[in-house]
Structure formats: structure tokens, C-alpha cells
């Protein structure tokens, strides 16, 4: 299991989409479609939107192997991901640093990819997506990035430049994971 984390605006979704586009014909790699309590048309990642009530029903029914809350939303990783991993495949999911302990509990073989970008890039990307006020953007940028526990297997990818550069780094990591199976 590969979980991609990093601050808002770092380009996690863009990077995941880049890799998914390049590996779309490889059945050994599964790009996870998260369940999120926001409208499916909200933009950003290709997710399954649902209401809070539906999310809680799914959670109680055991339909998620990992779930967490952040920024007023609930996020879930479908339990079906485990079936793909059991067959020897690799799964890639957009996650959250705060949810890493939950990912570790669900997936004994876990690789963490931290996507970063320079502060001015983060600010510009957050403003361009138009989901938050400038005050909310400044609040996000003021947040301290928690150090990720040394006990995780972490690779950091700087996504401040062209997507091909960071995308190539993620593709190389995925190829390494596929080769190591």
C-alpha cells in the first residue's frame, strides 16, 4: 500500500493522476477512489461523494479499511483495496498525515510518499482552486507540517516544478514497488 500525503496545494491529486495516466494499462496497480463527504462535482480528485449519514452507514458496515476526518469532511478508503493487495498488487491512495497510524494498522506493508512544494507555490495553487477564502488559505499555510514518524518508510517528492519531474519520481517508486513484489 502506498499512501500519498502532504500539505494542501502540494499537488497530490495531480501527481496521482499523472501516475494513473501512465499506468492505466497495468492491472497490478490500483489507484484508490476515496469516499468523501463532499459533492462528487466539487472538483479536485475523482472521488465518490456521499452524505455524512451514508458515510457513517458505510463505516459501521465495515466498507472502509481506513477512515478519518479532516477539514470538516470524512474520508474513507474502500475495504476492497485489501483484495487487490492480497493478489500481489500495489495500491495508491491519497491519504492524510493524521491518518497514517490508521493506515499502518490496516496495511502491514506501507510506503508513505510525502509530496511537498515551496510555500509560494502552495499559496498560488490553493488560491487557483477557489475552494477557500484568502484567510483560510493563510491558515493552511501557517500550519506546521508535522514530522512524519521515523518508523514509516517515507519517500519525499518535491512537486514545485514541472509535473513531469515529480511524476517521473513517483513512477520510478511505483516501478520499484512492483519489482519488489
Q: Which residues are annotated as a binding site for ATP?
A: 6-13
Residue 113 bridge partners (DSSP):
4, 155
DSSP string, 148-176: PPTTSEEEEEE-SS-HHHHHHHHHHHHHH
List, edge to edge, every strand of the sheet that includes 48-49: 48-49, 35-36, 73-78, 64-70
DSSP per residue over 13-41, as a string?
Answer: HHHHHHHHHHTTT-TTEEE---EESS-TT
Binding residue ranges: 6-13
Amino acid at each position: 500500500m502506498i499512501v500519498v500525503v502532504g500539505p494542501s496545494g502540494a499537488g497530490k491529486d495531480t501527481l496521482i493522476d499523472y501516475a494513473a495516466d501512465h499506468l492505466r494499462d497495468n492491472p497490478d496497480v490500483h489507484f484508490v477512489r476515496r469516499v468523501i463527504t463532499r459533492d462528487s462535482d466539487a472538483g479536485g480528485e475523482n472521488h465518490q461523494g456521499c452524505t455524512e449519514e451514508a458515510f457513517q452507514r458505510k463505516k459501521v458496515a465495515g466498507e472502509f479499511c481506513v477512515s478519518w476526518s479532516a477539514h470538516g469532511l470524512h474520508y474513507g478508503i474502500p475495504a476492497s483495496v485489501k483484495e487487490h493487495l492480497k493478489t500481489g498488487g500495489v495500491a495508491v491512495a491519497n491519504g492524510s498525515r493524521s491518518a497514517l497510524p490508521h493506515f499502518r494498522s490496516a496495511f502491514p506493508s506501507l510506503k508513505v510518499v510525502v509530496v511537498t512544494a515551496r510555500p509560494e507555490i502552495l499559496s498560488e495553487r490553493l488560491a487557483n482552486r477557489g475552494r477557500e477564502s484568502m484567510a483560510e488559505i493563510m491558515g493552511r499555510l501557517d500550519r506546521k507540517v508535522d514530522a512524519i514518524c521515523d518508523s514509516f518508510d517515507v519517500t519525499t517528492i518535491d512537486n514545485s516544478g514541472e509535473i513531469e519531474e515529480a511524476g517521473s519520481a513517483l513512477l520510478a517508486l511505483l516501478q520499484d514497488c512492483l519489482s519488489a513484489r
